[in-house]
């Protein structure tokens, strides 16, 4: 919820009820069929609004939105299941080295750094595939960039996206569907343009592996990236919360090289405005540690991390006090304790072909 977007007059959930899956899929194809200038891929896909935006996996659904996700055949659980209950699906343990249980920010950074150094190089080829298994909270009260009511439903999304972003795959009725990537295409080459999260010029593995892993040097790169943004989004722009938001969007939207992941934890651990959380429960019922900030005086954003494998586990967004936001698209009212977003990463990794699990 650290990026802001304009809320449509009709929500994705309402669209899913009103329009058939085939029509939605066709709409998605029409929306993304238009060629875009090369530089437009470097800008955020979201515009400003009074409302906090739902976070979106860029290596995820064929196109953004709950209605689009339903059309793509993503598994949806509805009803009034307790969001803190047993896991939905089987989280796959992260491969790699584990040292000790991290109980502090310093321990997390140290152990993650040691584990990354002990592991193999992480440099997937362009025709390998990025796999993600994401569990999101939904609400029967609707959604429009945030959960409008109690998180009483869950939606699981398993996708494979080729590293060069030209193809993606997903499960529909239990069968694997492989298709051309449904994202904007370069006006020059006609190839799919890789989306990038807020605060970063690229998410290619060539770029990610070129980044420094020293927290001090990595922080300098992040600040320079934020300063170069044409229209920086996030509280304080390129300041403290801008750095937190940039780190969070990269964690959420990209399967990261372990050495860079440890460096990003170091950036957060050394930030006096970021709090280390010793116990955070993700949507799948797993307990992790994490980092958090409070934005705009009411919105607590928590990054959840596995204390044993040091892998990113997801996020929790909650209002820590009552708040009302007014913008061009209306007014939103949040009560204290309201969960505005909740997501768990059940599994991720690089595989050789779609349908394969790490």
* pLDDT in the model for residue 64: 32
Tokens of 55: 């976070």
Looking at the DSSP bridge assignments, the partners of residue 281 are 287
CA distances from 18 to 21, 144, 325 (A): 10, 16, 28
Whole-number Å distance between alpha carbons of 146 and 272: 28
Cα of first residue to Cα of last residue in the chain, in angstroms, is 28
**DSSP-assigned states of every residue in 75-115:** EEE-S---TTSSPSS-PPPPPS---S---SHHHHHHHHHHH
* pLDDT in the model for residue 285: 95
Residue 204, burial from CB neighbour count under 10 angstroms (0-12, 13-18, 19+) = middle
Whole-number Å distance between alpha carbons of 144 and 11: 6
| Nearest Cα to Cα of residue 38 among 152, 186, 159 | 186
* pLDDT in the model for residue 83: 33
Tokens of 37: 């200038």
pLDDT tens for the 358 residues of the chain, in order: 443 222 223 333 333 333 333 433 433 333 333 333 333 332 232 223 444 444 543 433 333 333 333 333 333 343 333 333 333 344 444 445 667 899 999 999 999 999 999 999 999 999 999 999 999 999 999 887 789 899 999 999 999 999 999 999 999 999 999 999 888 888 888 888 888 888 899 999 999 999 999 999 999 999 999 888 765 554 444 457 889 999 999 999 999 999 999 999 999 999 999 999 999 999 999 999 999 999 889 999 999 999 999 999 999 999 999 999 887 667 889 999 999 999 999 999 999 999 999 9
In sequence order, the 6+-apart residues with CB closer than 8 A to the CB of 285 are 84, 85, 86, 87
Tokens of 301: 């954003």
Q: The pTM is what?
A: 0.77
Helix, strand, or coil here: 117? Answer: helix
């Amino acid at each position: 919820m650290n990026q802001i977007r304009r809320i449509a007059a009709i929500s994705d959930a309402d669209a899913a009820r009103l329009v058939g899956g085939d029509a939605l899929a066709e709409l998605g194809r029409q929306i993304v069929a238009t060629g875009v200038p090369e530089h437009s891929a470097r800008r955020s896909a979201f515009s400003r609004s009074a409302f906090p935006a739902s976070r979106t996996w860029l290596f995820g659904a064929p196109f953004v939105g709950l209605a689009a996700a339903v059309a793509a055949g993503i598994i949806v659980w509805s009803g009034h299941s307790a969001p803190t209950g047993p896991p939905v699906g089987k989280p796959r343990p992260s491969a790699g080295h584990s040292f000790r249980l991290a109980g502090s920010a310093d321990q997390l950074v140290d152990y993650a750094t040691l584990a990354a150094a002990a592991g193999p190089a992480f440099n997937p080829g362009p025709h390998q595939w990025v796999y993600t298994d994401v569990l999101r909270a939904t609400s029967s009260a609707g959604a429009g960039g945030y959960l409008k009511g109690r998180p009483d439903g869950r939606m699981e999304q398993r996708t494979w996206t080729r590293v060069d972003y030209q193809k993606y795959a997903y499960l529909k009725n239990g069968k694997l569907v492989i298709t051309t990537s449904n994202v904007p295409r370069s006006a020059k080459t006609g190839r799919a343009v890789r989306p990038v999260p807020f605060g970063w010029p690229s998410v290619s593995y060539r770029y990610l592996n070129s980044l420094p892993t020293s927290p001090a040097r990595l922080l300098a790169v992040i600040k320079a990236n934020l300063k170069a943004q044409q229209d920086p989004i996030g509280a304080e722009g390129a300041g403290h919360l801008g750095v937190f938001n940039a780190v969070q969007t990269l964690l959420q939207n990209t399967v990261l090289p372990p050495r860079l992941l440890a460096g990003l934890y170091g950036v957060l651990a050394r930030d006096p405005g970021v709090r280390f959380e010793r116990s955070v429960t993700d949507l799948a019922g797993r307990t992790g540690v994490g980092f958090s900030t409070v934005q705009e005086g009411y919105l607590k954003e928590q990054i959840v991390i596995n204390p044993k494998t040091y892998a990113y586990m997801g996020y929790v967004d909650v209002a820590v006090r009552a708040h009302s936001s007014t913008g061009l698209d209306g007014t939103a009212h949040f009560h204290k304790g309201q969960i505005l977003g909740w997501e768990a990463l059940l599994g991720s990794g690089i595989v050789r072909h779609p349908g394969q699990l790490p």
